[in-house]
Amino acid sequence: MNRLALPLLLFCSVAAAAAEIDESRRTAVVRAVERAQPAVVSVHVIHREPVYVADPFRELFFPNSPYTYRYAGEKERITGGSGLIVSSDGLILTNDHVIAVSPSRRQRRPPRIEISLPNGRMLEAKHVGSDNFLDLAVLRVEALDLPVAPLGRSSDILVGEWVIAIGNPFDLGPTVTAGVVSAVDRDFQETKGDYHYRNMIQTDAAINPGNSGGPLVNAMGEVIGINSFIYTGSSYSTGSIGIGFAIPVDTARRFLDEVRTHGRVRKPWTGILGMRNLTPKLGHYLDLSISQGALVTGVAVDSPAYESGLERGDVIVAINDEKVRGKEEAWGILKGLRVGDTSSLDVVRNDGEHDITFRLEELQQQRQGWY
């Protein structure tokens, strides 16, 4: 063996080992992040709010009165979260609670929305539409050839599979956390604010304030959910304890189809004016054979529900083959449907069980406030 052979052999061995180590670092998680992260944006909402200060003169003559304070100008308050680019021409999906576009009583004008791309580029966004029940919203920016993350299917999620949460927690910038799918089909009977969360994906990937609206992706880099909220275990904790929830991408996909087709979110209308929980005592009083369900307390005349035969006093026990134990479950299912969808109700009256089916119509302006 000549003098150069041994060093060359050693060099090749080291290079081969380095290449093997480098390849081992490129795990499925790394490849998934590389595929999805370019389409994840940071959302900043700039609110302009009035400032009032105490006026000593007014305080003297109007103590403990609203007239004590005078308008002293405006200040900016910035909130935010994350978003996902879903079309190359500028459509961005996020949570409705992230943007909160409806001006509060303290605001004089709607907030301004700014989008920060992973490369640092800043764009102003316009609100296209929201689903005020499902906590989803769509924004639009004036840009072309934007990166788009592939949407997967949430219907075939495996409990225990690896997932990655991507977003902008605490406004730190693009951040990645990994975990597993802890559970699926989590329903929350009580609404959280104005939102109904159903069939949620539970994960132990760290989700913190600011992650809302960002994607939960699988090991293939496909989006399977929209990160929405966390369980903290107390009223004062603000960080993740490993229990986070994401809206299934199948739900988000239907919402996006509605916006793309109609340019807005059409509000569905059943004509059911009210429901209450059926209790064992109430069921006995009404001479019913059941003790759980959603008792219908009112139906609008000439509505889809009315025309199909639904009556005041009917008890809904299932909707589209999903069991209903109370009014929150019933509202949650109905509010997740779209205009044109068919609703099949299993109802119980004191004369027996009945099947009632109708198609949801669009809620007209004169009926705003109904459902």
User: What CATH number labels 268-367?
Assistant: 2.30.42.10
* Same fold: 37-141 with 268-367: no
Q: Could you give the CA distance from residue 319 to residue 336 in angstroms, rounded to a whole number?
A: 12
Q: Could you give the CA distance from residue 188 to residue 190 in angstroms, rounded to a whole number?
A: 6
Q: What is the pLDDT of residues 199-222, one digit of tens each?
A: 999 999 999 999 999 999 999 999
Which of 153, 165, 150 lies closest to 81 in space, CA to CA? 165
Contact 148, 86 (CB under 8 A): yes
212: phi then psi, degrees, rounded to nearest 5: -55, 135
Helix, strand or coil, per DSSP, at residue 23: helix
pLDDT at 166 over 90: yes
Distance of CA 46 to the CA centre of its chain: 21
Selected catalytic residue, list 97, 228, 308, 314: 97
Contact 283, 260 (CB under 8 A): no
pLDDT at 368 over 80: no
For the chain, the average pLDDT equals 87
Q: What is the pLDDT of residues 80-121, one digit of tens each?
A: 899 999 999 999 999 999 997 554 444 556 789 999 998 889
Q: What is the pLDDT of residues 276-333, one digit of tens each?
A: 999 999 998 888 989 999 999 999 999 999 999 999 999 999 999 999 999 988 998 9
Over residues 325-351, the mean pLDDT reads 91
- How many other C-beta atoms can be found within 10 angstroms of the C-beta atom of residue 304? 20
Task: Break the chain into its structural domains and give their ranges.
Answer: 37-141, 162-262, 268-367
Over residues 143-172, the mean pLDDT reads 94
Over residues 335-348, the mean pLDDT reads 93
What is the radius of gyration, based on Cα positions, of the chain?
26
Cα torsion for 169, 174, 175, 178, to the nearest 10°? Answer: 120
pLDDT at 19 over 70: no
Q: Could you give the CA distance from residue 141 to residue 89 in angstroms, rounded to a whole number?
A: 8
**The predicted structure's pLDDT at residue 106:** 46
**The predicted structure's pLDDT at residue 56:** 79
**The predicted structure's pLDDT at residue 94:** 97
Contact 180, 141 (CB under 8 A): no
User: What CATH number labels 37-141?
Assistant: 2.40.10.10
Side-chain half-sphere exposure of 96, counting CA atoms within 13 A: 20
| CATH fold for domain 162-262 | Thrombin, subunit H (2.40.10)
pLDDT band for position 193 (cuts 50, 70, 90) = low
**The predicted structure's pLDDT at residue 233:** 66
Selected catalytic residue, list 96, 131, 135, 346: 135
Which residue has better confidence, 4 or 357? 357
Cα torsion for 313, 315, 316, 318, to the nearest 10°? Answer: -160
pLDDT at 36 over 50: yes
Over residues 172-197, the mean pLDDT reads 85
Beta-bridge partners for 276? 295
pTM of the model: 0.82
Selected catalytic residue, list 42, 82, 130, 212: 212
Q: Residue 135 catalytic? A: yes
pLDDT at 187 over 50: yes
Q: Lowest mean pLDDT: which of 62-66, 167-171, 320-324? A: 62-66
- How many other C-beta atoms can be found within 10 angstroms of the C-beta atom of residue 59? 14
* DSSP string of 297-313, one letter each residue: EEE-TTSHHHHHT--TT
Altogether, the residues listed in the chain come to a count of 371
Q: Lowest mean pLDDT: which of 63-72, 75-84, 131-140? A: 63-72
Q: Residue 291 catalytic? A: no
Pair of tokens at residue 81: 């979260």
pLDDT band for position 54 (cuts 50, 70, 90) = confident
**The predicted structure's pLDDT at residue 55:** 77
pLDDT band for position 20 (cuts 50, 70, 90) = low
**The predicted structure's pLDDT at residue 198:** 87
**The predicted structure's pLDDT at residue 234:** 63
